[in-house]
Each structure stands twice: as structure tokens, then as C-alpha cells.
């Protein structure tokens, strides 16, 4: 019997402009491509996992978080990314209120959200899985 929990999972992130998104993920966020496929998808390694950046006419339509990086220090990561020009989202929702740096505390989780050039919502945070 196949059990999906026996296999790794990775995010797939759509972009309407692969060159623009590639520059953001590589120059701003610091990723190096692990593999490129013939259809234009770029696979990046991140810790012990991977994510795929691919061209799609439906890019940027997601209104929820599409990928989360669990980091050792959310404050330091947010400060470093902000220094590279990343703008963090501000939320004031029931159960989710960010501080002046864009960081929210939700029980044992502390995180911040930002958007890539297509509007995909990305997250960095610390918590039980860090």
C-alpha cells in the first residue's frame, strides 16, 4: 500500500515571467538552481527539500501561502531579507496580527510573509518544526 507520508513533498511555485522570478529567487533570496528541465521549470534545493519554479499563465492567483521556510531566527531572517529590498506584508486579522517588521506570533510559531514578483505569498518562520 502506498503511503504518501513515506515520501518527500515540495512546493511548486508558478510564475508568469520566469526570468524575472529567477532573478528574485536567485539574487534576492540566494537560491542556486539544482536542475532545469526542457519545459523551463527550475528546481531549487532548500535545506533537505526542493521547490520547483515554473512558467504558468495562472501564476500569482493564489491568495494563500504557497511556501514556508522554517528558519532558526525569524527576526534575523526578516531583517536580512528586508535589507535586500524584500517588503513584508502587514496583517491585522483575527488570530494574525503582525508587528512593525511584519512578524506575527501564533502560539509556538513566529513568522512573516512576503510576496515574490508574481504575488505568490511566501513565509519565513520559526516554530516546532524549526
Q: Which domains does the chain have, with CATH numbers?
A: 4-57+65-126 (3.10.180.10)
Q: What is the pLDDT of residue 130?
A: 57
In the chain, pLDDT over 70 holds for what percent of residues?
A: 98
Q: Which tens digit of pLDDT belongs to each residue from 14-53?
A: 999 999 999 999 999 999 999 998 888 999 999 989 999 9
What is the average per-residue pLDDT within 122-128?
93
Q: What is the pLDDT of residue 128?
A: 80
- Over the range 87-124, which residues count as b (16 or more CB within 10 Å of their CB) and which as e? ebeeeeeeeeebeeebbbeeeebbbbbbbbbbebbbbb
Q: What is the pLDDT of residue 21?
A: 97
Q: What is the pLDDT of residue 129?
A: 62
pLDDT exceeds cutoff 90 at 93: yes
Q: What is this structure's pTM?
A: 0.91
Q: What is the pLDDT of residue 62?
A: 87
Amino acid at each position: 500500500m502506498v503511503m504518501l507520508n513515506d515520501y518527500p513533498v515540495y512546493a511548486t511555485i508558478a510564475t508568469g515571467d520566469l526570468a524575472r522570478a529567477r532573478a528574485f529567487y536567485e539574487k534576492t533570496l540566494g537560491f542556486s538552481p539544482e536542475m532545469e528541465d526542457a519545459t523551463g521549470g527550475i528546481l531549487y534545493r532548500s535545506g533537505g527539500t526542493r521547490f520547483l519554479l515554473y512558467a504558468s499563465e495562472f501564476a500569482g492567483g493564489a491568495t494563500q501561502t504557497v511556501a514556508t521556510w522554517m528558519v532558526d531566527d525569524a527576526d534575523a531572517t526578516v531583517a536580512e531579507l528586508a535589507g535586500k529590498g524584500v517588503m513584508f506584508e502587514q496583517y491585522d486579522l483575527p488570530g494574525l496580527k503582525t508587528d512593525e517588521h511584519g512578524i506575527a506570533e501564533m502560539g509556538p510559531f513566529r513568522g512573516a510573509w512576503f510576496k515574490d514578483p508574481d504575488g505568490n505569498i511566501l513565509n519565513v518562520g520559526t516554530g516546532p518544526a524549526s
